[in-house]
Structure 1
Amino acid sequence: MVAVSRTLLPCLWLLVGLPVELCLAQATPDPPPPPGCSKDLNSFYYNLCDLSVAWGIVLEAVAGFGIVTSFVLTVVLVASVPFVQDYRKKSLIGTQAFFLLGTIGLFCLTFAFIVKQDFSTCASRRFLFGVLFAICFSCLAAHTMSLNFLARRNHGPRGWIAFGMALLLALVEVIINTEWLVITVVRSESASQDPCQVSNEDFVMALIYVMFLQVATFLAAWPVLCGRYKHWRKHAIFILITSSFSMAIWIVWIVMYVYGNQQRGGSTWDDPTLAIALAANACVFVFLYIIPEISQVIKPGPEQAYEDDVYPTRGVGYETILKEQKSQSMFVENKAFSMDEPSSAKKPVSPYSGYNGQLLTSVYQPTEMALMHKGPSEGSYDVILPRATANSQVMGSANSTLRADDAYISQNKPAVAQKDGKSGQASSPYSKNRW
């Protein structure tokens, strides 16, 4: 009887119990979607539209705004390359563009922490969280290395060296995370190979290399402030402020992720903690480093500014061309006017016409020999003012500024008249016999 009962009971359960459970499962309706989500939406994306869970919607808006802003800044940075006058700043644009790509990746990864967990989202979280942060901090470290050379020698390594250094530093974290995933997921001997089943302490320990990059960047930026060339200090200040805020954000989220959430009795705040850390640190990168650097990249260096001050007419612009044409036309008009003007140079000019109230200690008056040697290239002889003569008759007259030839004629005219008179009296046939 016992054997018969053991055989009949499983058969009765298959015949009666299983259909009843299936009917009850079909009769039980699906839970209604949360407020703000449509009925056709998969429950995997409920955190993106659930109005009762505000953190998902807020982080979604911040991440979307960050993606658009970072993309626009990337276009602006690349488009400003032809306008960069300082070749030392131009050599770092490739590293800064790589930094912007990492920042865009951080904003995009925020959505992976907002949606629910599955195999793909958990694997991307564990791998990309450290890699994207390593890209950003590697670019900051490479920029800091270049600034140390620039602050001491005013010339640093080439652009491809800085970019190569940032790429190699980021590849170290790629290797670390790849090995971690292979060991914990692919070659794990445990029954559960789900990448979501990882403790919070292990997740933080996998990011030790990123923390090392943060501290190294922060410490390496301080010597730039003591460099010889002070105009590079502001770039070091941008890196110091960015790394300081980043370290503060990392300290807060690590404490909450490892200790605070466990004290609250559950892991429901783990995903919001990591998502908030991603969005906040990416915003720090954009507003405290990228935007100030783009505003400084077009400005000329002190050498270029000095050259512009020494050679102000070096550039040819529209206003310069207009000024040159205006001056040439005025010169031509004045020359034509002087040609049409009657010979007013023969008129006497007052010696006090150019007096302006200032005492002239020495006035240059060219001699007749100097005028003769100078030649007629600068104008006709009759329009050149002569040197002063010592003739009392001429100096005493009202017309004291007569020309040299007029003065000479006025001096010799009485003598000529006397000679003519004497010769006329001697030779006149009527001088003796007329009367």
Structure 2
Amino acid sequence: MGKAVAPRGCRSDLDARYHRLCDVGVAWGVALEACAAAGAAAAACAALWLAGAAGRVQDPSRRRALPTLLLLLAALLAQFALTFAFLLPLDGATGPARLVGFSAAAGTGFAALLALAVHAARLARGRPALPGLGLLALALGLGLVQDALAVEYVVLAMNRTRADVFAAMPAPRRNEDFVLLLLFAMALLAATLAAAALALRGPFPAWRRLGARAGLTALLAAALWASWIALLLRPEPGPQWDDAVLGAALVANGWLFLAAFVLPEFLQLTKQRDPRDYPAEDAPCQPRLLTPRLGLHNPAFTSEEAQTGPPAPGASPHAPYSTHFQLQDRAPAQEFSIPRAQAWPSSPYTDYDGRKGGR
């Protein structure tokens, strides 16, 4: 068997497995490589900028989210790098790498987005933020669940036979298993939408905007995933078309996260802390919404109309609008008067004319 002729753009001594990486006649491969390389460079530059700008972040709540945001950038970088595995032919080496790599990158990215949405929901509703390590542990834990599912599937599939199981498996069956394995990642998207909806109901605008960005990113990612899954489950195009669909899905998902979430969040990181984005310091001392209590609800205050009649003989009366002291009837007190001077009805000098009597 003669040696395969190198296509235009490739060296003559290059292995035939790598011809698709340099074949300029395969337009979709060249475009996919360019987009993936540009996305990987953008994600790497963003991660370096984030590491350098961490000291300039003044808001402590945003500073706590930096490790999780850095994890998201690492997942996006892995997605762009994994695109090149879908340009190589499917064999015993690229098959497990595609399956495990796609699951790990997608699961970690969606888990980091969910953790940031939960962070926004707590702050938007006036609750204290989770610690930075707590957010990172939440994202890593959820991402590791998807990784464990992928690794377990690969181990079980390769133990059933020593042959090249992924290349020998029919394309419809392989695609169905691929989609079923990513159901947990889709569940993470749904949970992100729920957390974003909770954030939108909070009273603090900055964290509502963060939740809205997370929800919009999850919504667009769900639409993108529905599109490539619908294309992948169609058996007509063929295995090479399947590679193009999966590679394009990785690149599109990475750029979507960069444009819809990472870049707007970077613009907010170095802004000064706004007191309006947090509850007032004396908020725990402020009166809460209380149910108004009328006099009828309090047993100490009873309406006079509720009394059916006069108290029984010998019973002590009860004052309804006073303390619980009992009032008793007392005998009427005797009347006392103080004599006051009164004027005579007529003056004794009325008939006096200045003479003695008899003269």
TM over 0.5: yes
Paired residue for 2:101, among 86, 106, 128?
128
Task: Calculate the aligned-residue CA RMSD, in Å.
Answer: 1.7
Paired residue for 2:183, among 208, 217, 220?
208
Match runs of 1:33-432 below 5 Å: 33-153=6-126, 155-185=128-158, 187-188=159-160, 190=161, 192-198=163-169, 199-259=174-234, 262-264=235-237, 266-303=238-275
Unaligned runs of 5+ in 2: 279-359
Secondary structure of 1:293's counterpart equals helix
Within 2, Cα distance between the matches of 1:30 and 1:192?
Answer: 25
Q: 1:191 deviation in Å?
A: 6.3
In the alignment, which residue of structure 1 is the partner of 2:353?
Answer: none
Higher share in helix:
1
Q: Larger radius of gyration, structure 1 or 2?
A: 1
Q: So what's the TM-score if we normalise by structure 1?
A: 0.61
Q: Is the CA contact 1:143–1:162 (under 8 Å) kept in the aligned structure 2?
A: yes
Q: 1:36 deviation in Å?
A: 1.6
Q: Is the CA contact 1:123–1:196 (under 8 Å) kept in the aligned structure 2?
A: no
In the alignment, which residue of structure 2 is the partner of 1:411?
Answer: none
Question: Quick one: which amino acid aligns to residue 259 of structure 2?
Answer: F
In the alignment, which residue of structure 2 is the partner of 1:426?
Answer: none
Q: 1:30 deviation in Å?
A: 2.8
Secondary structure of 2:49's counterpart equals helix
Q: 1:106 deviation in Å?
A: 0.3
The structure with higher relative contact order (CA 8 Å, sep 6+) is 2
In the alignment, which residue of structure 2 is the partner of 1:339?
Answer: none
Q: 1:78 deviation in Å?
A: 1.3
- Report the identity percentage: 31
Q: So what's the TM-score if we normalise by structure 2?
A: 0.73
Q: 1:256 deviation in Å?
A: 0.6
Unaligned runs of 5+ in 1: 1-24, 307-435
Q: 1:108 deviation in Å?
A: 0.4
Within 1, Cα distance between the matches of 2:127 and 2:182?
Answer: 35
Q: Is the CA contact 2:107–2:185 (under 8 Å) kept in the aligned structure 1?
A: yes
Within 2, Cα distance between the matches of 1:291 and 1:154?
Answer: 26
Q: 1:210 deviation in Å?
A: 0.6
Question: Quick one: which amino acid aligns to residue 237 of structure 1?
Answer: A
Q: Is the CA contact 1:184–1:193 (under 8 Å) kept in the aligned structure 2?
A: no
After TM superposition, where is structure 1 displaced by more than 6 Å over at least 4 residues in a row?
none
TM-superposition CA deviations, 1:336-357 (whole Å, max 9, x none)? xxxxxxxxxxxxxxxxxxxxxx
Within 2, Cα distance between the matches of 1:47 and 1:102?
Answer: 25
Report the more deviating stretch, 127-136 or 153-162: 153-162
Q: CA 1:303–1:191 in 2, change beyond 3 Å: closer, same or farther?
A: closer
Q: 1:277 deviation in Å?
A: 0.3
Q: Is the CA contact 2:69–2:112 (under 8 Å) kept in the aligned structure 1?
A: yes
Q: Is the CA contact 2:204–2:276 (under 8 Å) kept in the aligned structure 1?
A: no
Q: 1:284 deviation in Å?
A: 0.5
TM-superposition CA deviations, 1:42-82 (whole Å, max 9, x none)? 11111111122111111111111111111110011111111
Within 2, Cα distance between the matches of 1:132 and 1:231?
Answer: 29
Q: Is the CA contact 1:154–1:229 (under 8 Å) kept in the aligned structure 2?
A: no
Within 2, Cα distance between the matches of 1:232 and 1:217?
Answer: 15
